[in-house]
Protein backbone atom coordinates (compact mmCIF):
# COMPACT_ATOMS: atom_id res chain seq x y z
CA UNK A 1 0.00 0.00 0.00
CA UNK A 2 1.41 3.37 -1.01
CA UNK A 3 0.27 6.66 0.49
CA UNK A 4 1.09 9.60 -1.77
CA UNK A 5 1.43 12.90 0.06
CA UNK A 6 2.16 16.52 -0.81
CA UNK A 7 4.62 18.33 1.42
CA UNK A 8 3.14 21.81 1.49
CA UNK A 9 6.44 23.44 2.50
CA UNK A 10 8.04 22.15 -0.73
CA UNK A 11 5.24 22.35 -3.29
CA UNK A 12 5.34 24.97 -6.03
CA UNK A 13 3.17 27.97 -5.13
CA UNK A 14 1.43 30.04 -7.76
CA UNK A 15 2.29 33.72 -7.83
CA UNK A 16 -0.92 34.50 -9.70
CA UNK A 17 -3.37 32.61 -7.46
CA UNK A 18 -3.34 33.05 -3.70
CA UNK A 19 -3.26 29.74 -1.83
CA UNK A 20 -2.76 27.52 -4.90
CA UNK A 21 0.00 24.94 -4.88
CA UNK A 22 0.61 22.05 -7.26
CA UNK A 23 0.94 19.31 -4.61
CA UNK A 24 -2.21 17.44 -5.61
CA UNK A 25 -1.41 17.74 -9.31
CA UNK A 26 2.17 16.55 -8.79
CA UNK A 27 1.00 13.53 -6.78
CA UNK A 28 -1.52 12.71 -9.51
CA UNK A 29 1.24 12.73 -12.12
CA UNK A 30 3.37 10.45 -9.94
CA UNK A 31 0.43 8.11 -9.32
CA UNK A 32 -0.38 7.81 -13.02
CA UNK A 33 3.23 6.71 -13.55
CA UNK A 34 3.16 4.26 -10.65
CA UNK A 35 0.11 2.39 -11.90
CA UNK A 36 1.51 1.29 -15.30
CA UNK A 37 4.89 0.63 -13.66
CA UNK A 38 3.16 -1.73 -11.18
CA UNK A 39 1.34 -3.33 -14.12
CA UNK A 40 4.70 -3.93 -15.86
CA UNK A 41 5.70 -5.86 -12.70
CA UNK A 42 2.54 -7.97 -12.95
CA UNK A 43 0.64 -6.04 -10.26
CA UNK A 44 -2.74 -4.32 -10.27
CA UNK A 45 -3.52 -1.16 -8.31
CA UNK A 46 -6.51 1.00 -7.33
CA UNK A 47 -6.46 4.78 -6.95
CA UNK A 48 -8.26 5.54 -3.67
CA UNK A 49 -9.29 8.96 -2.45
CA UNK A 50 -12.42 8.19 -0.44
CA UNK A 51 -10.87 8.42 3.02
CA UNK A 52 -11.16 10.67 6.05
CA UNK A 53 -8.15 12.94 5.75
CA UNK A 54 -7.98 13.67 9.49
CA UNK A 55 -8.25 9.99 10.49
CA UNK A 56 -5.68 8.91 7.91
CA UNK A 57 -3.26 11.65 8.95
CA UNK A 58 -3.60 10.56 12.59
CA UNK A 59 -3.11 6.90 11.71
CA UNK A 60 0.14 7.65 9.85
CA UNK A 61 1.18 10.41 12.31
CA UNK A 62 1.58 12.87 9.43
CA UNK A 63 2.81 16.35 10.36
CA UNK A 64 0.29 19.11 9.47
CA UNK A 65 2.20 20.28 6.37
CA UNK A 66 2.06 16.78 4.84
CA UNK A 67 -1.24 16.39 2.97
CA UNK A 68 -2.38 12.86 2.04
CA UNK A 69 -3.50 12.92 -1.61
CA UNK A 70 -4.25 9.32 -2.47
CA UNK A 71 -3.76 5.74 -1.42
CA UNK A 72 -2.55 3.19 -3.94
CA UNK A 73 -3.13 -0.39 -2.84
CA UNK A 74 -1.02 -2.65 -5.07
CA UNK A 75 -1.32 -6.41 -5.42
CA UNK A 76 -2.06 -9.37 -7.63
CA UNK A 77 -5.33 -8.81 -9.45
CA UNK A 78 -8.04 -11.45 -9.00
CA UNK A 79 -8.23 -13.82 -11.96
CA UNK A 80 -11.74 -12.56 -12.76
CA UNK A 81 -10.81 -8.85 -12.50
CA UNK A 82 -11.52 -6.86 -15.63
CA UNK A 83 -11.44 -3.18 -16.55
CA UNK A 84 -14.52 -1.12 -15.72
CA UNK A 85 -16.86 -0.54 -18.67
CA UNK A 86 -15.83 3.12 -18.91
CA UNK A 87 -12.49 1.93 -20.35
CA UNK A 88 -14.28 1.09 -23.59
CA UNK A 89 -17.30 3.41 -23.54
CA UNK A 90 -16.72 6.93 -24.78
CA UNK A 91 -18.84 10.06 -24.73
CA UNK A 92 -18.98 11.79 -28.14
CA UNK A 93 -16.27 14.47 -28.70
CA UNK A 94 -18.98 17.19 -28.99
CA UNK A 95 -19.83 16.50 -25.33
CA UNK A 96 -16.18 16.52 -24.22
CA UNK A 97 -14.62 19.40 -26.15
CA UNK A 98 -15.74 23.01 -26.26
CA UNK A 99 -13.97 25.63 -28.35
CA UNK A 100 -14.03 28.79 -26.27
CA UNK A 101 -14.61 32.20 -27.77
CA UNK A 102 -11.61 33.60 -25.93
CA UNK A 103 -9.09 31.13 -27.43
CA UNK A 104 -7.35 33.78 -29.56
CA UNK A 105 -7.19 36.15 -26.60
CA UNK A 106 -5.77 33.36 -24.42
CA UNK A 107 -3.02 32.58 -26.94
CA UNK A 108 -2.12 36.28 -27.13
CA UNK A 109 -2.04 36.46 -23.31
CA UNK A 110 0.29 33.47 -23.06
CA UNK A 111 2.58 34.58 -25.88
CA UNK A 112 2.84 38.03 -24.24
CA UNK A 113 5.06 36.43 -21.60
CA UNK A 114 2.59 35.36 -18.90
CA UNK A 115 3.68 31.73 -19.19
CA UNK A 116 6.09 30.22 -16.67
CA UNK A 117 8.98 32.21 -15.31
CA UNK A 118 9.98 30.29 -12.18
C1 LIG B 1 -9.03 10.49 -8.27
C2 LIG B 1 -9.65 9.12 -8.10
C3 LIG B 1 -10.08 8.71 -6.85
C4 LIG B 1 -10.65 7.44 -6.69
N5 LIG B 1 -11.05 7.03 -5.44
C6 LIG B 1 -11.56 5.80 -5.27
C7 LIG B 1 -11.91 5.33 -3.98
O8 LIG B 1 -11.73 6.03 -2.98
N9 LIG B 1 -12.42 4.08 -3.88
C10 LIG B 1 -12.59 3.27 -4.97
O11 LIG B 1 -13.06 2.15 -4.82
N12 LIG B 1 -12.27 3.69 -6.21
C13 LIG B 1 -11.74 4.92 -6.39
N14 LIG B 1 -11.39 5.35 -7.64
C15 LIG B 1 -11.67 4.47 -8.80
C16 LIG B 1 -10.64 3.37 -8.96
O17 LIG B 1 -9.33 3.84 -8.76
C18 LIG B 1 -10.71 2.76 -10.37
O19 LIG B 1 -10.42 3.74 -11.33
C20 LIG B 1 -12.07 2.20 -10.67
O21 LIG B 1 -12.36 1.23 -9.71
C22 LIG B 1 -12.12 1.60 -12.09
O23 LIG B 1 -11.18 0.59 -12.19
P24 LIG B 1 -10.40 0.33 -13.55
O25 LIG B 1 -9.93 1.68 -14.01
O26 LIG B 1 -9.24 -0.57 -13.20
O27 LIG B 1 -11.33 -0.31 -14.45
C28 LIG B 1 -10.80 6.59 -7.81
C29 LIG B 1 -10.33 7.00 -9.06
C30 LIG B 1 -9.76 8.25 -9.21
C31 LIG B 1 -9.25 8.66 -10.56
pLDDT digits (tens, 9 = 90+) for 81-115: 988 898 899 999 899 888 777 777 777 777 776 66
DSSP assigned state of 11: S
The H-assigned helical ranges of the chain are 23-40, 53-59, 93-96, 103-109
Q: Counting atoms of ligand 1 from 1, which one is nearest the CA of 50?
A: 8
Q: Which CATH number fits domain 2-78: 3.40.109.10, 1.10.10.10, 3.40.190.150, 3.10.180.10?
A: 3.40.109.10
On whether the CB atoms of residues 44 and 77 are closer than 8 A, the answer is yes
Residue-by-residue DSSP string for 70-98: EEE-EEPPPTT----GGGT----HHHH--
Is residue 5 within a helix (H) or strand (E), and if so which, with residue range? Answer: strand 2-7
Query: Coil, strand or helix: which one is 4?
Result: strand
Query: Coil, strand or helix: which one is 26?
Result: helix
Tell me which residue has its CA closest to atom 31 in ligand 1.
47
pTM for this model (two decimals): 0.82
Tell me which residue has its CA closest to atom 22 in ligand 1.
84
Best substitution site from 46, 72, 74, 89 to test ligand 1's pocket, by max atoms within 8 Å of Cβ? Answer: 46
On whether the CB atoms of residues 102 and 63 are closer than 8 A, the answer is no
Best substitution site from 38, 44, 47 to test ligand 1's pocket, by max atoms within 8 Å of Cβ? Answer: 47
Residues with CB under 6 A from ligand 1: 46-50, 83-84, 87
Residue range 5-64, pLDDT digits in tens? 999 999 999 998 999 999 999 999 999 999 999 999 999 999 999 999 999 999 999 999
Amino acid sequence: MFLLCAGERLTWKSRTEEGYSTGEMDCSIVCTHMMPEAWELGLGSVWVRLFEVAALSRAFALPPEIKPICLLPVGYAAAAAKPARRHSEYRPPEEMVKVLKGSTAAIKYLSAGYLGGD
